[in-house]
Amino acid sequence: MRRQIPVVITFIVGSVLIISVFIPHKPFGQLGENFSVYFDIIAVFAFILGAGNLLRVHGNRIYKKHKDWPYSVVTVAGFTVMMIAGLFKIGGSPGITGDLTEPGSMFEDLYMYVFTPLMATMFALLAFYVASASHRAFRAKNKEATVLLLAAFVILLGRTPFGVELTSWLPDPLSFLEIPNLASWIMSVPNMAGQRAIMVGIALGVIAMALRVILGVERTYLGADSE
Amino acid sequence: MKAFSYSFTFYCLLGLILLATTDGLAQVESSDSLLSPLLPPSEVIAEDHPGDAGAAIIVRWKLSPDEDRGVTGYEIVRSTSPTGEFSSIGFAAAGSNRYVDANTEDSLTYYYKVLAIDVDKNVSESELSPPARSSPQWFNFHLLNLLIIGGLICGAVIYFIAHAKKGKKLFLRKIAGLEAVDEAIGRATEMGRPILFIPGILDMDDVQTIAAITILGRVAKTIAQYDTKLNVPTSRSIVMSTAMETVKEAYISAGRADAYSDDFVHYVTDEQFGYVAAVNGIMVRERPATCFYIGAFFAESLIMAETGNAIGAIQIAGTAMPAQLPFFVAACDYTLIGEELFAASAYLSGEPKQLGSLKGQDVGKIIAMSAIVIGALLETFFAISGSSFFGSLAELVHKLFSIVAS
């Protein structure tokens, strides 16, 4: 019973949502939007679970002096400071309607001058990771890797002023051989064809997966084996 | 008389000079056209917007003949009475010949006029449209093709599930990434290091996250049998709750309820790069032997996969985000590409019913491949021969596989 009720709910909700795509008449037409709103409401309450879990896990680590526990102190301290700054609107307009993000409020300052730079730093690291991954991926180990290397070389060169200058002398009938044009062709023909093939596969995979879940054939997400 | 003669000669000469120059010709033509009034749009038709839940009327018109003479756009006005006061409801840019009034009441009748406006703010008003009333429809005929093709694919999936239930053997190609799951878990067990499972950064309303959780269930069962430590940091509270329940049940069904800990699955943060920082910290400190990145990923994919690569972990990734696939292919040992992600749970289960659904997908592939080949051939024949027969057939195939906006 504990597993059957969720399967029945999934079947009804899944079927109704599929029907609602084709039937615009009320009450079907608005169902997709309404269910999305219900999900958001549930997600807001579920956030309390997340915050509780965060405090429990890191609180335990601090209490038991777990390995690397000082990191947990930073996590709990950061969470607490941001929560107090937000809940009590320190430095901002008080009251329930006061703007949390008004300039000068502690929450806004912490967000703008601590959190945003930290996020930007993490994002900036991507440049170095792209370089190291490219270095490894673009080794001409076999035929396929060599083709990949050449394609990457043309695209990289085609996006630089040097690449434009390098072949700009070519006469008009041979302009298709200019590096920026070759780069553009690689992106819009073979690359696009590959991406579309992947997208078709994804669409079919989603259909099969959705049917397995709606029909109750796949129940792992409910914490159960299949029927 | 003499003065008149001089003036006449002067103006004649001036006229000749103006007429003899291109600029002069243009100037004369321009001043001519400016003198004529701006012509209004014509044949204004208003009708119920098809395939919707009501509350919308579509207004169409024939462009003003002066469209090329500085028309900046069309203002659409409406009234509930042909003789009543018309109020503005919207503006369509020059060249547009349709406007959807999405703010109507189904019980009322509306009349529309379209006003052409030019650069000098001259306004020219169309004739009144026939009366129109919005109403809801019970079926969106614009999606009929989607219903037919979707029905065929769904029918095939259901047929093969039923077919597999009868015990018929199905052939499935091997998926290297999934074949390596046992090996990856075994390696972590031998090394005495934990296994890290990242279920993407989107919520449970994303199908990739659902796929990730189903795979987590299968993987967790094997991990429970091997008695290896599992670490699942999540970036969404609902994903955390679902993953926790799934892992717990996997441990119970493996007969290892005693080995389960609530700390296996934990919430980190909803913030994308905050989550990445936490996951990278876990990787560097705990040095997991195996990392799974299964679900929806964005810019964080490479940051995590490269860190995993740097610590020497076996990495298995799977996503349906085409932009992130190259990063995972470059940094991970195995990557489940697109549909393989959705097939993984069925593949790992090995159950005939689930595998039958994968077989059903092949029908969809046959339809897609046939449409691509036929469409490409028809377009090629049309381009070579110019025959309208091939052109119409190509158009038909295009329409059959497109969702056309009304």
Is the pLDDT score of B354 beyond 90? Answer: no
Average pLDDT over residues B236-241: 95
Can you give the residue range of the structural domain that contains A208? 138-227
Mean pLDDT check: name the lowest of A87-101, A159-173, B346-360: A87-101
Q: Please give the pLDDT value at position A56.
A: 96
CA-nearest residue to A135 within chain B is B330
Residue A53 CA to its chain's centroid (Å) = 22
> How far does B212 lie from chain A, in Å, by closest CA?
9
Interface test with A, best of B273, B301, B302, B329 (most A CBs within 10 A): B273
> How far does B23 lie from chain A, in Å, by closest CA?
34
Q: Please give the pLDDT value at position A124.
A: 95
The enclosing H or E element of B195 equals strand B195-198
Residue A88 covered by a domain: no
The answer to whether B240 contacts A218, with C-beta atoms less than 8 Å apart, is no
The pLDDT mean for chain B works out to 89
> How far does A71 lie from chain B, in Å, by closest CA?
9
Q: Which residue(s) pair with B114 in the sheet?
A: B76
Contacts of B277 (CB under 8 A, 6+ apart): A118, A122
Please tell me the CATH superfamily of domain B14-138, with its number: Immunoglobulins (2.60.40.10)
CA-nearest residue to A40 within chain B is B205
For the segment A116-128, what is each residue's pLDDT rounded down to a tens digit?
Answer: 999 999 999 999 9
Count of domains for chain A: 1
Query: Of A11, A3, A12, A13, which is closest to residue A222 (Cα–Cα)?
Result: A3
Residue A74 covered by a domain: no
Hey, which bits of B56-163 come out as E strands? 57-62, 71-79, 87-93, 98-101, 111-118, 123-125
Residue A182 covered by a domain: yes
Q: Please give the pLDDT value at position B31.
A: 45
**Which band of pLDDT confidence, cut at 50, 70 and 90, is reported for residue B1?**
very low
Q: Please give the pLDDT value at position A29.
A: 86
CA-nearest residue to B141 within chain A is A22
Average pLDDT over residues B303-316: 96
Closest Cβ–Cβ partner in B158, B237, B331 for A43: B237
Residue A173 covered by a domain: yes
The identity of residue B113, as a single letter, is K
Closest Cβ–Cβ partner in A57, A199, A220 for B266: A57
Residue A31 covered by a domain: no
The answer to whether B354 contacts A212, with C-beta atoms less than 8 Å apart, is yes
Q: Please give the pLDDT value at position B5.
A: 52
Q: Please give the pLDDT value at position A222.
A: 72
The whole-angstrom separation of Cα A3 and Cα A102 is 48
Chain A residues in contact with B261 (beta carbon < 8 A): none
> How far does A182 lie from chain B, in Å, by closest CA?
20
Interface pTM, i.e. ipTM = 0.91
What would be the CATH architecture of the domain defined by B181-332?
3-Layer(aba) Sandwich (3.40)
Chain B residues in contact with A136 (beta carbon < 8 A): 309, 330-331
Task: Tell me how many residue pairs between chain A and chain B have CB atoms under 8 A apart.
Answer: 214
Residue ranges of chain B that CATH labels 2.60.40.10:
14-138
Percent of chain B with pLDDT over 70: 91
The whole-angstrom separation of Cα B219 and Cα B238 is 20
Average pLDDT over residues B58-72: 92
For the segment A176-220, what is each residue's pLDDT rounded down to a tens digit?
Answer: 999 999 999 999 999 999 999 999 999 999 999 999 999 998 888
> How far does B392 lie from chain A, in Å, by closest CA?
24
The answer to whether B139 contacts A53, with C-beta atoms less than 8 Å apart, is no
Mean pLDDT check: name the lowest of A167-171, B163-167, B201-205: B163-167
Q: Please give the pLDDT value at position A61.
A: 94
DSSP annotation of A25: S
Report phi then psi at B139, rounded to 5: -150, 135
B181: tokens are: 């799951």
Residue A81 covered by a domain: no
For the segment B117-132, what is each residue's pLDDT rounded down to a tens digit?
Answer: 999 999 999 999 999 9
Residue A224 covered by a domain: yes
Closest Cβ–Cβ partner in A205, A220, A224 for B341: A205
Residue A197 covered by a domain: yes
**CA separation (Å) from B313 to A135, B179, B297, B306, B332?**
19, 17, 19, 10, 9
